[in-house]
Structure 1
Amino acid sequence: MSDRATVHPVPYHAQWASPELVEAIIGGSLSAADDPLWRAYGAESAEEYAWWSWRLCGVACLRMALEYWRGWAPAPMALAAQCVAAGAYVRRGERLEGLVYAPFASYAQEHWGLQAQARPELPVREIAQLITSGHLVMLSVHPSIRELAPSPPSRGGHLVLAVGVTDEALVFHNPSGFHGQSQEFARIGWGDLDRFYAGRGVVLGAGGGTEAH
């Protein structure tokens, strides 16, 4: 790994409309439907927003990448609808299956002109090389990474966006991190990553396309 840090200045987005309310929403002291900024999500109702906001960590990661490389990003619900159409999310009643990496990568390439590669196997040792070469990486981790839980019950289940590396740590944006603690440019030591990381993700690059409308 390089002796020098590489941290890309990627804008941050939470998967909820109000980043400062994430801890209260996750902790149960506030319903997502009571988020005062729910309309900014592009939802038709507070209830629709509440249902989707718990599930769109991958969309939040895509929005961050699009703002970084394209200078703008649509509202989350617009991207969610496109991902459903592309097969990257599959809704079955009250369940949402996904993010499904392969169709998501195809969608990101075809619709947004990004480089995108689904990696069902992505060793930790490759992540630093990818980041230093200019990529961003969506990583599957356990959501308790926000608190650096000592013994997460499993690996994976939540997506974060790796935006930087140092010799000691991975630097990432966490869509469900807590405000002022573990949202933007959060760090986790390389030795701690293994207990959260499922060994898979999606590698994103700037590509050569222009934004779609």
Structure 2
Amino acid sequence: MRKQKRVVVDAGVTQRVPYFSQWETPEMTLAVVAEGAQTALLRDPLWASSGARNVEEYAHWAANLCGMACLKMVLAARTGKTVPIMDLAMGCRDYGGYVEEPDGKIKGLIYAPFVPFVRDRFDLNARVVTGISVADIADILTQSEFFIASVHHSIRWPETEPPAKGGHLVLVTAVSGNRIRFHNPSGHIAETRENAEMPLQTFERFFAGRGIAIDR
């Protein structure tokens, strides 16, 4: 398990939230951006830790596993155990949370099937939240332990203007005043991966107004 950080949520609950990337080697993000996951991740020396049957399967799935990385972090925080990311993905697929299309493309994470998957497999009480603003996340965290937020993947470069909102998932762990803190499964450097922080108004530019709350 990677080094854990202490995070204090507004509701007053102290948590330890481990960080995990959606690739087994977190430092490979820039290679993935430049070459695509299915090419770059064939060189990931730690691919076997994913639980994939081979490196090709790992590289094929990894770009879609930001949601499973968030779940992996939640489970590690709750139980102290690390579940291989492909084990999570295949379980979620069985519930319809991922769909493999005839052309090989993977559709997902699909939110609605994720809820019964984590309830049945891990006894987590999750709920889909839509139509909210970034200011509403603080209220969500008063009753939920985590919020998996839909943002644009370019949030790793907060100074940029995203071309769209959503399409990538990050694990929000705290809102304090006007700042939000989160783990980004595809951050490109340490500061944008683990306990990344930014003003709420910056996060708003990337945030699609939806996500998954995981209650206490």
1:154 aligns with 2:164: yes
1:12 aligns with 2:19: yes
Q: Equivalent residues in 2 for 1:3-152 (5 A)?
A: 8-28=15-35, 31-93=40-102, 94-152=104-162
Cα drift, residue 162 of structure 1: 0.1
Q: Equivalent residues in 2 for 1:154-193 (5 A)?
A: 154-193=164-203
SS at match of 2:106: strand
SS at match of 1:83: helix
Q: Report if aligned partners of 2:18, 2:77 keep a CA contact under 8 Å in 1.
A: yes
Q: Please give the root-mean-square deviation of Cα atoms over the aligned residues, in Å.
A: 2.1
Structure 2 alignment gaps of length 5 or more:
1-8
SS at match of 1:87: coil
In structure 2, what is the Cα distance between the partners aligned to 1:13 and 1:162?
14
Q: Equivalent residues in 2 for 1:187-202 (5 A)?
A: 187-202=197-212
Cα drift, residue 135 of structure 1: 1.5
In structure 1, what is the Cα distance between the partners aligned to 2:179 and 2:129?
21
Cα deviation 1:174-204 (Å, max 9, x = unaligned) = 0000132300100121111221000000001
Cα drift, residue 130 of structure 1: 2.5
In structure 2, what is the Cα distance between the partners aligned to 1:78 and 1:164?
28
Aligned residues: 205
SS at match of 2:16: coil
Could you tell which deviates more after superposition, 57-66 or 101-110?
Answer: 101-110
Query: Which residue identity is paired with 1:24?
Result: A
Cα deviation 1:157-183 (Å, max 9, x = unaligned) = 000000111112110000000132300
In structure 1, what is the Cα distance between the partners aligned to 2:177 and 2:115?
29
In structure 2, what is the Cα distance between the partners aligned to 1:132 and 1:178?
30
TM-score by length of 2: 0.87
SS at match of 1:31: helix
Could you tell which deviates more after superposition, 193-202 or 22-31?
Answer: 22-31
In structure 2, what is the Cα distance between the partners aligned to 1:8 and 1:101?
25
Cα drift, residue 117 of structure 1: 0.3
Could you tell which deviates more after superposition, 161-170 or 19-28?
Answer: 19-28
Structure 1 alignment gaps of length 5 or more:
207-213
Q: Give percent identity, aligned residues only.
A: 38
**Bigger RCO (CA 8 Å, 6+ sep):** 1
**Residues 204 and 134 of structure 1: is their aligned pair in 2 closer, same or farther, counting only changes over 3 Å?**
closer
In structure 2, what is the Cα distance between the partners aligned to 1:100 and 1:182?
25
Q: Report if aligned partners of 2:145, 2:214 keep a CA contact under 8 Å in 1.
A: yes
In structure 1, what is the Cα distance between the partners aligned to 2:110 and 2:11?
34
SS at match of 2:210: strand
